[in-house]
Each structure stands twice: as C-alpha cells, then as structure tokens.
Amino acid sequence: MSKTRSSSAGAAKLPELPRSIATIAAQHLEREIIEGRLDPGERLIEEEWAEKFGISRGTFREVLRILEAFKLVEIIPRRGAQVASVNRRDVEEIYILRKHLFQLAYMYATPNLNDDALRQFQAIVDDMECVAERGDAVEFTALSQKFDELVLDVADIARLRMLIEFLGKQTIRYRYMGFKIAGRIERSLAAHKRILAAFKAGDGERAGAAVYEIIEWAGKSILSAAFGDGPAEPVIPENGRAREESERPPRPSRRKVG
C-alpha cells in the first residue's frame, strides 16, 4: 500500500520502468538485513549469495555497492563485505536527525493540507484508536508509518523523504524493539491526536513540535531498551577524539563455525 507510494488519488500510471535484477536482489538483501534476519557483522560472501539469488558474482557485486551506499553493508577492500553494524552512538545520531527531519516534514506538510488529506489523516487516527484498544503494537506501527508516509507525500519534498528513508533503514532493526516499550501506543496515539488537531488548525509549528517530542521519546526508549541506560557509552577517547571505530567485531572470521 505504501509500497507503490501512489498515496492519495488513483494517481499516475508511470510506464513502470523495468527494474534491473541487481536492484531487485538489492531490495531482497536489504530486507534480510533491515528485518534483522542477518546479524550485524555477518560476512556476505559473494559466491554464496550470488548463488542464492541465482545471479552471477559480478551482478551481486553491484548489489553490494548499492547497499553500501545506504550504509547497510560495509565493504572492506580485498577482505569482503559484511552486514553493517550499528552501535549505540549511531542510534543516538540517527534519532537526533530523525526527529529534526520529521519535524521539518510535518511543518512543511501543514500548509499543503487540503480537506481530502485531512480526512485521510483523520481516518488513520481513528484506526489507531481502534487498534490501540486491542493493544496490537504491530498494526499500530503500520498505521503510524502510513501516517508518516502520507505526511511526506503532502510535504512533497522528495529529498526529505530520501534522507528519512536513508536513516530509517539503518534503525529498523531497533525500531522493532519499540514494540515492547511500555506506554508506547498510548503516547504515540496521544501525539497523533495532537498532530491531527494542529493540522486542522493549520499550525505547522505545533505539529512539528509534537512529532519531534514523540520521536525523541521513542529514541530514548529504544536506546535504553537496546543498549541499557546510562548516558551514552562512556566514550573515552584515546587521543582527544577518536570514537569512530571503537566498537566493531574483532574481524570477520573466515568460516562461520568450522
């Protein structure tokens, strides 16, 4: 539904340009990584995966390059590729940016809202309310994402969507943890109600502030859920400042087990 991104009206019917095999394979591997079926740091052996996808190594190499650009895999020259790992600091960073970017999206969306869009937002919030009673976290998250998607459609800044997607892909693994966080649904629902009200009032500032807050809260929750509490890793720079490679699997071991 949000896949084709043909949000509102039964819009466009682009010629649906054929996607290259590399792109398709990239999307598949991306899902594997994003949805956590592959562990961070896990090696991605070209021949192995090429065979899995039924493509040649050369083509799979393109796949790796694509995913490298999204920071989903790390390519170490002459040593191979591995699933990118995300440490605590990375998640902190991403959530800092995420909250600001969504704030922008919601702010820029507001003046573009029309009655039709407002109705759609209202419908989603209604659904949320319904789902919240059941306590269905998975479905609630889907609705929340639908809401965000629609906002991005309305904001109509293609690159803003790209930036958010770029960051989002790197944290979905962790966002799934959000399911279990106590009070998440209630908070999020309340936030969305506030946002909807702000939308109706044409108050972009307030809408933006509301997402900002809820994302900030979500970020903190996920951080403590995933990495335990404490104000970020102690981060004791060796010489002034050199976090960077602080935490990394010792080295991709050649054989899985032996």
Which residue, chain included where needed, has tokens 């740091």? 41
With CB under 5 to 8 Å by kind, the binding choice for 254 among a copy of itself, DNA, none is DNA
Structure tokens at 164: 């958010």
75 touches a copy of itself (CB under 8 A): yes
240 touches DNA (CB under 7 A): no
166 touches a copy of itself (CB under 8 A): yes
H-helix or E-strand spanning residue 73? strand 73-76
Q: What angle do CA 7, 183, 168 make, to 5 degrees?
A: 40
User: How far is the C-alpha of 24 from the C-alpha of 225, rounded, in Å?
Assistant: 33
Who's near 210: CB < 8 A, 6+ residues apart?
106, 191, 194, 195, 198
- Applying CB under 8 A, which of residues 31, 47, 48, 76 lies at the interface with a copy of itself? 76
User: How far is the C-alpha of 114 from the C-alpha of 213, rounded, in Å?
Assistant: 25
Alpha-carbon dihedral sign for residues 17, 148, 154, 208: negative
- Applying CB under 8 A, which of residues 240, 250, 256, 257 lies at the interface with a copy of itself? 240
* 8-47 binders of a copy of itself (CB under 8 A): 8-9, 11-12, 14, 17-20, 22-23
User: How far is the C-alpha of 122 from the C-alpha of 146, rounded, in Å?
Assistant: 12
- How many Cα neighbours within 13 Å face the side chain of 195? 31
* 58-87 binders of DNA (CB under 7 A): 58-59, 61, 77-81
User: How far is the C-alpha of 189 from the C-alpha of 195, rounded, in Å?
Assistant: 10
For residues 16 to 55, the per-residue mask of contacts with DNA, x marking binding by CB under 7 A and - elsewhere, is --x-xxx--------------------xxxxx------xx
- Applying CB under 8 A, which of residues 45, 118, 142, 163 lies at the interface with a copy of itself? 163
To DNA, the closest distance from the beta carbon of 63 in angstroms equals: 10
With CB under 5 to 8 Å by kind, the binding choice for 3 among DNA, a copy of itself, none is none
3-state secondary structure of 83: strand
65 touches a copy of itself (CB under 8 A): yes
169 touches a copy of itself (CB under 8 A): no
Asked if residues 152 and 164 have their Cβ atoms less than 8 Å apart, the reply is yes
Give the interface with DNA as residue ranges (CB under 7 A).
18, 20-22, 43-47, 54-59, 61, 77-81, 251, 253-255, 258
Give the interface with a copy of itself as residue ranges (CB under 8 A).
8-9, 11-12, 14, 17-20, 22-23, 58, 61-62, 65-66, 68-70, 75-78, 90, 93-94, 96-97, 100, 104, 108, 156-160, 163, 166-167, 239-242, 244-245
